[in-house]
Chains A and B, each alone.
Chain A
Amino acid sequence: MHRVTTAELQQHGANGDDQYVRVSITEPQKMGEGMGAYMAYRVSTQTNMQFYKKSNFSVYRRFSDFLGLHDKLTEKYLRSGRIIPPAPEKSMIGSTKIKMSNQSDQGASADFIERRRAALERFINRTANHPILRVDPDFRDFLESELELPKATNTSALSGAGVIRLFNKVGETVNKITYKMDESDSWFEEKVQQVENLDAQLKNMLTRVEALVYQRRELSQCTASFGKSVAMLSNCDEHNSLSRALSQLAEVEEKVEHVYAEQCIADFGILCELLKDYVALVGAIKDVFHERVKVYQNWQHAQVVLNKKREAKAKFEIMGRTDKINQANDEVVEWESKVERGQEEFENISRMIKKELERFELVRIQEFKVTLINYIESLMQNQQQLIQIWESFLPEAKAIA
């Protein structure tokens, strides 16, 4: 059954044009052995944009390449106020599992690999959906370049980008402690609050969905267990048609268990992952708000220095220190232009953030709608399967003589 992907969301015209870059991530494979092992993915792109050399192409990338890409984009665009789609988290447990697993160890690591693959796909497509990021040369290289990308060393926790991530994780507490900005723009005042609310709501919703996933998983296991006990009952029953019906019931419960397990995957894969992605995106928005605060800080700092320089110049003029006046004057001019630049930077980032947030909202609304529809469809399909399962059992039950 076809689920609308983030890539196809572009068709809903969030960018208001016909251009698209659609990426699919496939063929996860383990490369290397032992502690040096890593996962590689095939990154296949379809595009109608002239910016790219071809319209259909693929390359192979490893997980740290994705993180490296995110860091580069952050370095380049965060300062100007762009919301950079967050990359999937590095998971110590997950990656160690992969390194340590062997052929027979499929189960849990297969789950993890699939979740990661899907998360990477969403990350790249969100980036590919962004009108500016999708025509960034580093992004293009990531998708297009046949060469192995330089090993991303910045993806460790202590790199610049890592510090930003760390910063964000510490969150509001740090924001509040560092600098209390004098907010004159009511739009921002309102928006910051809205984003905080959204954050809380999403996290709340995520907890509830996770609880549902847990309960459904338990139900699935109990159903399987029940089915087995019915099979035992069927085996010892000497009445032929009843025994048959009971063994059919055991099969029914097994099939029902599969349906519940499928539903679990949908609960998790569709709802949970959406909510998690948006919690991370809200984090990226907070990053950009924080960036603006830093820009403001910069500007204010320049203003403070300018005032000092002006005072100094005035002092020298009063004191008649002609030898110092020229230099003081130069400094005043220098800092006047710094203040001007500071203000410009602040106005630019503010304007950019407004634009980005508007776009973000459009995309978010669309994505939520599409995802909820997908989820309801999954519920419906699973219920339809249940109907089929029980309908095929009914004649068996009626056949008990």
Chain B
Amino acid sequence: MLQDDSPDASEQSSINKKSNKSETVDLTDNSLVVDISDALSEKDKVKFTVHTRTTLPEFAKTDFLVVRQHEEFVWLHDRFEENEEYAGYIIPPVPPRPDFDASREKLHKLGEGEGTMTKEEFAKMKQELEAEYLATFKKTVAMHEVFLIRLANHPIFRNDHFFRVFLEYDQDLCVRSKNKKELFEGLVKSFSKTSDELLLSATQKDNDDFFEKEKDFLLEYHSHLRDATAKADKMTSRHQDVADSYIKISTGLNQLATSDHPELEKFFTKVSDTFEKARKLEGRVASDEDLKLSDTLRYYMRDSFAAKQLLYRRLRCLADYEQANKNLDKARTKNKDIHAAELAQQQACDKFEQISIKAKEELVEFKKRRVVAFRKNLVEVAELEIKHSKAQVQLLKNCLESLKEEME
């Protein structure tokens, strides 16, 4: 049964949510406000404090906290994914697992190389790595938060039973992470699902032009997004490497300054200073590109994947409908169980029509969302690039002025 959700309100809240990724929430409806108020990084785990404020009567309290780990978010996502009633919706993509491996490895390498560098250098590089670690941490919090906010703002999802449990239940959800056997099964399942998907794409002739086009578009779009995300990640990582190498140049110049001719001392010190400031700016460029470009691409890669899943579910539905038709024909020819077959056929037909209507809305919604998100982030990244470059130009100008004074 179709719920009576006003498309305007859901559209509105979706857009707002996308544009204010983590901070503010939709202003028109405060009945369920979710945020991650705190997070703790502990060895291998991250513990998120999920904070809910609500005026909805279904909840026991109006303001409460629970602590959740990543696996519990995955559990929640899976509950939505498997719910037949939500088959016509794009299920918000699950946030990626918190991944500090890269940061940790860098920190480890730094520790190993401690003997080969000066105290000053070591301290600077450590500081830089800690900042990176912190940035990764903030990102993972933001991504988990966005996931919850999207659910909370969705007129249908917000009323989901499991969602309430997730927000409210103050014990662990006893979601152990999948053991090897389950992981393997999951892999096999998803593999067969994909080939199923491919099979369906090939044999199921879709009468609806809209969905045919959508499928073609999403397949290509998702694949390009995945590629662009990977390339963006590589680029920002290299950019960070350049910023890091500035540290070495700066400390090297300092060493030269102390041991070289006194007339060069001031010169070297000034240039060393400039490099130190420049590397902070370069570091910011790298992290802004990461946040605005890479993360936007990454999010829409996931969202477009969720959209593909929706199309797949619809095609399954169509397959079921066609099967029900065949069964009805068979029943009629055999003159046996006709009524049951008619009922089944009617149900399959209804289900398919509902899912098609809903899916169309969702897909149109999805496309609008991404245009808005891209616009916002592209504008922001351009503004930040300009800002940082201007700052660097100013820094370098100052350096040049002061160096040229030394020449006289």
Contact = CB atoms under 8 A, between A and B. Distances in A.
Interface of A: 197-198, 201, 204-205, 208-209, 211-212, 215-216, 218-219, 222-223, 225-226, 228-230, 232-233, 236-239, 242, 245-246, 249, 361, 364-365, 368-369, 372-373, 376-377, 379-380, 383-384, 386-387, 390-391, 393-394, 397-398, 400-401
Contact of A226 (B228, B255, B379, B383): B228
Interface of B: 217, 220-221, 224-225, 227-228, 231-232, 234-235, 238-239, 241-242, 244-246, 248-249, 252-253, 255-256, 259-261, 263-264, 267, 271, 274, 278, 367, 370-371, 374-375, 378-379, 382-383, 385-386, 389-390, 392-393, 396-397, 399-400, 403-404, 406-407
B249 A386 contact: no
B224 A208 contact: no
A397 B375 contact: yes
Contacts of A391: 382, 386
* Interface of chain A: mostly helix, strand, loop or mixed: helix
Contact of B249 (A212, A238, A361, A368): A212
Contacts of B403: 369, 372-373, 376
B267 A236 contact: no
Contact of A201 (B228, B256, B374, B378): B256
A211 B404 CA distance: 28
A246 B397 CA distance: 33
Contacts of A394: 379, 382-383, 386
Given A249-B378, A383-B393, A393-B382, A372 B271 contact: yes
B122 to A, nearest CB: 15
A242 B375 CA distance: 8
* Interface of chain B: mostly helix, strand, loop or mixed: helix
Given A205-B256, A236-B220, A222 B264 contact: no
Nearest to B396: A380
A391 B382 CA distance: 7
23 contacts: A205-B252, A205-B253, A208-B248, A212-B248, A215-B241, A219-B241, A222-B231, A222-B238, A225-B235, A226-B228, A226-B232, A229-B232, A236-B217, A239-B367, A361-B261, A365-B261, A368-B267, A372-B267, A380-B400, A387-B393, A390-B386, A394-B379, A400-B371
Contacts of A197: 259
Given A201-B255, A369-B264, A390-B389, A215 B249 contact: no
A204 B255 contact: yes
Given A239-B367, A365-B263, A380-B397, A212 B239 contact: no
Contacts of B263: 365
A219 B238 CA distance: 5
A380 B375 contact: no
A369 to B, nearest CB: 6
Nearest to B239: A219
Nearest to A397: B378
A386 B389 contact: yes
B260 A201 contact: yes
Contacts of A205: 249, 252-253, 256
A218, A228, A236, A391 pick with most chain B CB within 10 angstroms:
A236
Given A205-B252, A397-B378, 6 more contacts: A212-B248, A229-B232, A365-B261, A383-B389, A387-B389, A401-B371
A386 B263 CA distance: 34
A208 B389 contact: no
A386 B385 contact: yes
B379 A236 contact: no
A379 to B, nearest CB: 6
